[in-house]
Chains A and B, each alone.
Chain A
Amino acid sequence: MAAILLDPLAAIGRATLGACRAVGDVALFALEGVSHLVRPPFYGRLFWRAFLEVAWFSLPVVALTAVFTGMVLALQSYTGFARFNAQSAIASVVVISLVRELGPVLAALMVAGRIGASFAAEIGTMRVTDQIDALTTLSTNPMKYLVAPRLLAATLALPLLVLVADVLGVMGGWLIGTLKLGFVSAAYLKSTFDFLQTGDVISGLVKAAAFGFIIALMGTWCGYRSKGGAQGVGGATTAAVVASSILILALDYVLTEIFFAQ
């Protein structure tokens, strides 16, 4: 009887301890990864390869997401604002929503699915096929070789992607505004730029950098700690995408509180 009562408590206790261990491990992993960014040797080729992978090859998916989001946002805003004769606010709503929130968050979620999974799968496969041990025996620190370049690449690449996403998202809104909703192009653009402030763009780019770091961190950590063959690598890939997506949303709230809470 006592066992029946205590079993769920024990399970909760185990899960809590496991979560604490994981948080501590991720924190130490992140510290070690960052510390290798300031200590030679530096692997420039690996950084550029990762940067290209994140920034260039993610561009199509991020661009499409941004354009359609801008278009949908303009349509939805029009539907709602027309009830209050506030259609003139659509351009400002589109640009503020995109630059502050939707641009960074949606771009990061897209990149998490693409790059977080790719980092976890590649490093996880290296782990289960002894390639990470081989790096160590070849006098190469795996954290410096595999983790640090990816952390830096994703942290720098995401703001660039978000900048592109912001422009394309506003363009999507402008297309719908002028072609479908009957706005005058110059008036729509004037309204857009009148409401946009430098702080909005900067806050979005800072968020993007933080999200890029989180994506690379979770992807490399899940891959680095994977074990158990193909199933382990699959699990690591899933965990990387899920964990980075949730952390992106949670961090978005925290950063929004920091930037915009009165």
Chain B
Amino acid sequence: MTKRIRMTAALLGLGMLAGCGGAAGLTGALQGAIAPLVGTQPAAAPAAAGAAGAGGAVDPSSLRQVSLNTLGLTGPATRLIDNGASASFAGPQGFTYTMRDGMLVSTRGLGDDLMAADARQSRAALRAGGGQARRVHETLDGLDRIERAEFDCTVTPKGVETVELGTRRVQARRFDEACRGAALIFDNYYWLDAAGEIISSRQFVSRGVAYLRSSDL
């Protein structure tokens, strides 16, 4: 813990970032510290700085509203990095998650994390307006082995609904994805805008964490 504080303090000294503590602060801090060196600075730095209340305009596209009901975590998430096809966000108390084209592919810092996922078929089914998909989730077991679980899923269109994104209310097409694996069943919900982008979703993480809800602002 002291090291963590020292690290944050050291970076503060460098004037890279006003830290907000926890891993989110650190990862933001790291990028703040390292990215200028290499001359590539994605949206992370302004977002992190904004989260720390350092002032300046914040790009709303880099923010999400996130909640994990089982763990009682709700609040804003800031984008740590935009890798084009995927992006990683830091939520309350420093946990992080990564979305690939709107589909949740990993979480960290939640204990029973989703280590990795292959949800490409589900994404394709959403784009196609519904259909069958197979998805793969990986978690870590008590012996440090990766456990692979496969799920057969059905994506069904549920019509147009009004969703609240921060202070906005927008019309979106809702899809439900019902998945069934050897020992587990879960239901994911997605809301897509006119362009087919996922603007809000509730997606399964793992047995211990249950669902992660993430929405654009």
Q: Do A and B come from one complex?
A: no
Q: Which residues of A approach B to under 8 Å, CB–CB?
A: none
